Structure 1
Amino acid sequence: MELTLIVAATITHGIGHSGALPWRLPNEMAYFAKVTSKAPQGGINAVVMGRKSWESIPPKYRPLKNRLNVVVSRQPEYDLGMPPPTQSSLTSPTSSLAILRPSLASALGSLQDILPSDASSLHRTFIIGGASIYAEALNLSSSPQESLPFVNRILLTRVLSPAYSECDVFFPDFQALDSRWKRSSHKELEEWTGLQVSEGVQEERGTRYEYQMWTR
């Protein structure tokens, strides 16, 4: 199973502060939504996240619509704030579906079994945070064996400035962990996402950033 990490991180890998994003970038968030939602007809993407990432999403936007939301928490009685899924609820619209799983491994292992009835196939699986889930995903497997989950792609919004030195949560230094990571061209990014993606350094609300894709 191929997995994609999607994240916005500073040059020093900062991704969060006090349980929230350090920046507010509507265009970048729209990019995230489009990339993680885009699937062929009959297909659906999964977004897998930890409990804190789920809680960081404003309640009115939970679950993230048009995606299969899977929340990982060691708390078996954790309340997602919505009715627990049943066999009948899997026939509900995709936009109302979220699933709780006790571990990343169990979340990834059950994706094919919890598809809503209006989706015939799982298209892509995105890991969307937070730091511990990213780190665990990167350590799942060291090689792309067909039977094992393997992170082979990172969609990185690299925040160039300001430094956001107040960050207290960090994305793993993936290049230090594995020298096989190589940056793809902008054309390859657009081909994989199937979207027109702004090229080069973007500036929004005083923050400069760039859309990147890395593969191994």
Structure 2
Amino acid sequence: MTRLTIIVAATLTNGIGQNSRLPWRLSKEMAYFAKITSSAPDGSMNTVVMGRNTWESIPAKFKPLPRRLNIVISTNKQYELLPADATVPAAPVYLHSSLDTALARLSHPEKLEVLIHRSFIIGGASLYRDTLALLPTADSFVDRVLLTRILSPAFEQCDVYMPDFLSQQGSANGLPSWRRAAHAELQEWAGFEVPQGIQEEKGVKYEFQMWVR
């Protein structure tokens, strides 16, 4: 089974975006995202799986995300990930036309040029929804959510929301319950020191959380 980790920053009402971009610019939070998605043992690499809109929201100079294997999902099989005259990318990047084929690639290490350590789902909303709906009996399953909970302000202008994953549990839908991990457990899994408690940056208060099932 391929275990998937969702990583997301979301408000208390699960807002994650506005006008196809993040409603906030938090350098320390972005540094956390970069470190946790790129940290892997020598000889291996993490995968970041994203939809086309998320890919397009990344500044050109950072595409593909370095030190990570990038997988982009778009129903347009002719979608051009990089300009035709682009130099050889600094990190591997693949285009897939569906979540199923992307997950099939992750399930077959021989189809990848590197050993995969961890696989992260980094957005957007529809990809979060589809991966959260995967059942424990599937070949791939989300067993962890790294949530940066934006506590204030409310960012009521958000126009994109992720599913309320904490409500998607219980025997009624065949999914196990979520448990918030202790901070020490988050740090141990991350492999580096993660700031504890409420953080504040540019007037925005947030907290690093990990949920597991």
The reply to whether TM is greater than 0.5 is yes
Q: Matched residues in 1 for 2:96 and 2:70: separation?
A: 11
Matching residue of 1:140: 134
Query: Which amino acid counterpart does residue 94 of structure 2 have in structure 1?
Result: I
* DSSP-derived class of the 1:203 partner: strand
Percent identity, please.
53
C-alpha RMSD of the superposition: 1.7
Give the TM-score of the pair, scaled to structure 2.
0.91
Query: Which amino acid counterpart does residue 205 of structure 2 have in structure 1?
Result: R
Matching residue of 1:38: 39
* DSSP-derived class of the 2:46 partner: strand
Q: Structure 1 residues 83 and 70, CA, compared in 2 at 3 Å: closer, same or farther?
A: farther
Q: Which runs of 5+ in 1 are unaligned?
A: 85-91
- Would you say how many aligned residue pairs link Structure 1 and Structure 2? 203
Q: Structure 1, residues 70-117: CA drift from partner, whole Å, max 9, x if none?
A: 000000100111469xxxxxxx77x3321100011111111324423x
Matching residue of 1:18: 19
Query: Which amino acid counterpart does residue 191 of structure 1 have in structure 2?
Result: E
Matching residue of 2:55: 54
Q: Structure 1, residues 128-179: CA drift from partner, whole Å, max 9, x if none?
A: 00000000000121x2x4x610100000000000000000000110011114
Q: How much has 1:8 moved relative to structure 2?
A: 0.1
After the TM superposition, list the runs of 4 or more consecutive aligned residues in structure 1 that deviate by more than 4 angstroms. none
Confirm or deny that 1:149 pairs with 2:150.
no
Check the 8 A contact 2:10/2:16 in 1, yes or no. yes
Equivalence map 1:1-216=2 (5 Å): 1-82=2-83, 95-111=90-106, 112-116=109-113, 119=114, 121-141=115-135, 143=136, 145=137, 148-179=139-170, 180-216=177-213
Q: Structure 1 residues 69 and 83, CA, compared in 2 at 3 Å: closer, same or farther?
A: farther
